[in-house]
Amino acid sequence: MLQILKKYLRTEFFLPKILIPLIALTLYSSLILIIINQYLYEVVNFYFNVLLLRTLVIIIIFLMIIHSGFFIIFNVIKGNKVVLENIREKFDLSELILAFLPLSPIIVYVLNNLDVLEIKETFMVLIFFILFSILFVNILPFLLGKFGSTKTMSSLGAAFAFTITSMPSLSQEFNWITIGDFKIQILFIVTSYFLIRLLIEKRTKKFLYVIILVNFLVSVITPILSKDFEFTETNYTTSNEKSDLISKVDGKSVSFTPNIYLLVYESYVPNETLLNYGIDNEQQQNYLSGKGFTIYPKTYSVGSPTIPSMSRVFNASPSYYGYIRRGISGDGIIHNILKKIGYKTVGVFPDNFMFQGVGSNYDYSYPEVREENLNEDKLLILTILSGEFRFKLGLKDLPPSHEQYIETKHSYFEKGFKEPIFLYTHSDLPGHAVTHGGCRPNEIELYKDDLLKANLEMKKDVNKIIENDPSSIIIVAGDHGPYLSNNCFTPLDNKDISDISRFDIQDRFATFLAIRWPTEDFERYDDIVVLQDLFPVVLSYIFNDEALLDTKIEPIILTTEKISGASVSNGIIQGGTEDGEPLFIDVN
């Protein structure tokens, strides 16, 4: 035992092989912490690096105390000399392949986000993380090689970078939100280091390279063969393709042009669905009925979550007509038709989520769209560095407060426009379950609390519009279900299609819909099955032309991977425990 201590505590070994590499790892972690702290807050990798730094400082201080005692006994008292030789190790270009290890998770993330990344953005993400890997695996170890073991620091750099880039996957696997389990994280980085260090020796180096290469290829091939892409059901059409709805309205004159307000509340669902969670929202529906709204209690969306649902609402089509956010950002088929007949379009949102990667095409929009916040490559890079895939990333560039958002949309409700307006606002209340990992223990209680807030916000919105614009069309809607059942936002791949229930489908695809029509003749037009029927119906109403109803899309769920391949067609369940039955049963 004493001989082992002598070997590892000898200054000639301790400094280059242990102390300097640990200080190097402290430097690596500090660099990441500085980057994260610049752009992000309260994310998994932030807290991981804070805890890692604290742990490293304690270990370094402890080892230095132990080594100081050893040095005094064996070098000062016994007079043994310390001989520090030139320890710089030769740089082996073949070790560049170590940088491929941290890149393996990056390839998976990029392939899973090809639906939002352009070619240029894809290359930017890859280039960033190639440089990221080379920095920690090759450059920093080489620069510090004068003081410590390059191999040790390179192995630590590879293990550290691999841990950082793998953290989103670990967060997904272990249901981490904001803070991960440090014991698992430290076990991951330590295991990665020792495996790399073991295999980096000359005898096993080729084996290490084979492992890294195979791991890299598997990371590339697996997502391609997988069916877990979020929007795999869509074949994008070109942005120039003309829709049936545009063809139908060409040359027609509108009967009248009332202002149109679309008030969407995130994951707001009808009372039949809420009762399955033990929540009764009948009082709110009665409030809307009392204000002159017609309730449509059996509607659902063909897509879920927000973008697959609302983009198709604004295109009145299964197609996105190009970029997936084109519709919700103000350049949808519906927006362009309304603009052509004289409407001004307004988009008011709590944040820039609707504009990411495309900007705003509304005549008036809120919040202000900052160009640097639109790049999907920057967003994906920051998301990976955060260590978790959230629905909305915790950026330090904070969006306006919810109170500012409400104040702004109310100012538009009160504002008098010379032209007719179409206003779309999308509140983030009540919201849905977390988008990674499983359900939080109190997921339903959290939703119930936010539903009460959404109800209050809705009442204020509706009252404000009726007070200032009583002859307008007011649409109150929810975009999809709240994902509170089973494993929440995670696809139901743990359930066979035969086990999918009516409630499972409602939980993901049910939508709330209530419309306050300014005249009594709306019943000729309002045959609404799916939320995407909304604007063919509204346009039929203002054009006084029932032929436009023929442009309604086929009412069949497209994102079926959310429910193990089950679907709904024209309101009838296909597959599952209630195969052939209505999605919604009779409600009062």
Whether the per-residue pLDDT at 135 is higher than 60: the answer is yes
Work out the burial of residue 294: count CB atoms within 10 Å of its CB; fewer than 13 is exposed, 13-18 middle, 19 or more buried: middle
Q: How confident is the model at residue 160 (pLDDT cuts 50, 70, 90)?
A: very high
The amino acid at residue 63 is L
| DSSP per residue, 492-530 | STTS-GGG--HHHHHHHHB--EEEE-SSGGGGGT---SB
- In this prediction, residue 274 carries a pLDDT of 96
Question: Which candidate, 386, 384, 380, 436, places its Cα nearest to that of 48?
Answer: 386
Average pLDDT of the segment spanning 426-435: 89
Residue range 446-470: average pLDDT?
Answer: 97
Q: d(Cα 235, Cα 228) in Å, to the nearest integer?
A: 15
Structure confidence at residue 235 (pLDDT): 37
Asked if 297 and 272 touch (Cβ cutoff 8 Å), the reply is yes
- Measured CA to CA, the distance from residue 75 to residue 72 in angstroms comes to 6
Cβ contacts of residue 319 below 8 Å, gap of 6+? 234, 236, 237, 241, 243, 312
CATH topology of domain 257-574: Alkaline Phosphatase, subunit A (3.40.720)
In this structure, of 4-13, 242-251, 310-319, 418-427, the range with the lowest mean pLDDT score is 4-13
Among all chains, which residue has been given the structure tokens 């200054």? 11
Q: What is the distance of C-alpha 580 from the center of its chain? A: 34
Predicted pLDDT of residue 231: 38
Dihedral of CA atoms 48, 53, 58, 60 in degrees, nearest 10, equals 130
Distance separating alpha carbons of residues 125 and 376, to the nearest angstrom: 9
Order of strands across the sheet with 364-366? 294-295, 513-516, 473-478, 260-265, 421-427, 344-348, 364-366
Tokens of 270: 């009808």
Residue spans in the chain of domains classed CATH 3.40.720.10 = 257-574
Helix (H) and strand (E) counts in the chain? 20, 9
Q: How many CB atoms lie within 10 A of CB 352?
A: 21
pLDDT digits (tens, 9 = 90+) for 344-389: 999 999 988 888 777 899 999 999 876 555 567 888 898 899 988 7
* Cα–Cα distance measured from residue 306 to residue 427, given in angstroms and rounded to the nearest whole number: 12
Residue with structure tokens 């309205």? 249
Q: Please report, as a single letter, which amino acid is at residue 579.
A: D
pLDDT digits 0-9 by tens, 300-330:
999 999 999 999 999 999 988 877 888 999 9
**Mean pLDDT rounded to a whole number for the chain:** 85
- What does the DSSP 8-state code read for residue 582? B
Nearest to 201 by CA among 157, 161, 152: 152
Give the tokens for residue 377.
């490559």
Kindly report whether the peptide bond that precedes residue 102 is cis, defined as omega within 30 degrees of 0.
Answer: no
Averaged pLDDT for residues 441-454: 94
pLDDT digits (tens, 9 = 90+) for 329-340: 999 999 999 999
């730094």: which residue's tokens?
A: 53
Question: Residue 75 pLDDT > 60, yes or no?
Answer: no
What digits encode the pLDDT tens for the residues 25-46? 999 999 999 998 887 767 899 9
Confirm if 366 and 379 have CB atoms less than 8 A apart.
Answer: no
Output the six-digit token pair for 558: 């497209």
